[in-house]
């Protein structure tokens, strides 16, 4: 079994020294750098460029440069999303962001786990677990989403939070680690 196959099935794999994975990361990171360095004005040109990098990049979605990615093909961004500056997608496993999501600046999606044992960690072993963000979510600035986490549709994650466990639909979660502080009634009138 190749290191890529191990990565894609959630097993421990050689992330640091496998030539196939290194080449894939270099290609994706090169494309991301090219996007970050160019000044594309036309939204359709931006979408077309991002579709070369990501597994799926939705219609009418925006991703502000700069952004960072490991492989790109494991990232799926839904329709009508807005992703602010300096997003990081550590996508050894799939990262799925639903339609109509707002992602604040400096948010990170981290699928990789390094081994706890020094000897294995120093061999470059890691494994990757998928991340899912449901539709209509809002993640404030500097939110970190950790490996294996699912965030339910309609959830709001407060700025600076570290999401280490699943968050239910329509929950407001804040803190380090993020904890649900209340549920959002989508029919409630929250005017000023």
Which of the following is catalytic: 4, 25, 27, 114?
A: 114
Residue 103, φ and ψ in degrees, nearest 5: -120, 120
CA-to-CA separations, 76 to 50, 111, 114, 118, 119, in angstroms, rounded:
11, 14, 23, 33, 34
Tokens read off for 177: 């680690």
CB 127 within 8 A of CB 4: no
Instruction: Report how far apart the first and last C-alpha atoms of the chain are (Å, whole number).
Output: 57
The neighbour count for residue 50, using CB atoms within 10 Å, is 23
**Residue 154 gets which letter from DSSP?**
T
Q: What angle do CA 33, 35, 40 make, to 5 degrees?
A: 150
Q: What does the alpha-carbon distance between residue 133 and residue 152 come to, in Å, rounded to a whole number?
A: 6
115 is catalytic: no
Residues taking part in catalysis: 114
């Amino acid at each position: 079994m190749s290191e890529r196959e191990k990565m894609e099935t959630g097993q421990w794999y050689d992330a640091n020294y496998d030539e196939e994975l290194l080449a894939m990361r270099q290609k994706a990171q090169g494309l991301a750098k090219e996007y970050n360095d160019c000044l594309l004005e036309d939204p359709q040109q931006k979408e077309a460029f991002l579709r070369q990098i990501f597994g799926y990049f939705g219609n009418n979605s925006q991703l502000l440069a700069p952004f960072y990615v490991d492989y790109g093909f494991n990232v799926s961004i839904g329709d009508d999303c807005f992703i602010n500056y300096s997003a990081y997608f550590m996508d050894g496993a799939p990262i799925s962001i639903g339609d109509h999501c707002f992602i604040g600046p400096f948010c990170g999606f981290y699928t990789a786990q390094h081994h706890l044992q020094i000897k294995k960690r120093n061999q470059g072993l890691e494994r990757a677990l998928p991340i899912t963000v449901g539709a209509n979510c809002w993640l404030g600035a500097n939110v970190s989403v950790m490996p294996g986490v699912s965030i339910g549709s309609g959830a709001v994650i407060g700025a600076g939070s570290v999401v280490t466990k699943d968050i239910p639909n329509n929950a407001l979660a804040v803190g380090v680690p993020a904890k649900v502080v209340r549920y959002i009634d989508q029919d409630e009138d929250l005017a000023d």
